[in-house]
Homo-oligomer: A and B are copies of this chain.
């Protein structure tokens, strides 16, 4: 049902540098580099799942829409992470560029075919799938049981962990407040208020609206209540 992708993105074949492992090298040759502007749709829920992607730089959000327009952000994909990998014919989520992004694009069937002969790739696909499952289970607990403040604390800690920015406790928040709200099952105002409370506590310090310093990790961890 969803229209196919209509990017004005730059395409480029065989950009990857050669790799010593012949299998990995073959995989890299199979990739196409794609550059996209922020807020562009990469694919829609229901589109043919002919490609899958790996984020090279930037951030991608995966969302599902209800018929009345409500949006659930199912997850974000950061550099190094795959999305669009599926066993069914159609994409089950829409994918949209949160920031300007660079993606590595792979033909789904080629990926599947290569995985038949390449145990390395099969293991990688399995690990991608299983980490997806783990992430979704955490989100289910978050959405089903945690309060607004607990969700916000979990979100900030997960973001810090994923971007590896825990060494200096400064975490970049590339997505909008609306993205965060739709990810956490809250409203934009509730997200704002939670951030404000954390600032007042000196648990976090806002360098900008999109860059926080986590001043009290222990307090944040306690707030998650997990």
The segment from A2-10, A27-35, A66-74, A166-174 that touches chain B is A66-74
- By a CB distance below 8 angstroms, the chain B residues around A133 are 92, 129, 132-133, 136
| Cβ contacts under 8 Å, A93 to chain B | 137
Q: Is A225 an interface residue (CB 8 A)?
A: yes
Identical chains in the assembly: 2
- Give how many A residues have a beta carbon under 8 Å from the other chain's beta carbons: 36
Proximity bits, A177-190, B CB within 8 Å = 1, else 0: 00000111100000
Residues from 181 to 202 in A contacting B, C-beta threshold 8 Å: 182-185
Query: Which residues of chain A (100-129) have a CB below 8 Å from chain B?
Result: 116, 119, 126-127, 129
B140 and A139 contacting across the interface, CB-CB below 8 Å: yes
Report chain B residues within 8 Å CB of A140. Answer: 64, 72, 74, 136, 139-140, 143
Interface residues of A (CB under 8 A from B): 64, 66-68, 70-72, 74, 86-88, 92-93, 116, 119, 126-127, 129-130, 132-134, 136-137, 139-141, 143-145, 182-185, 225-226
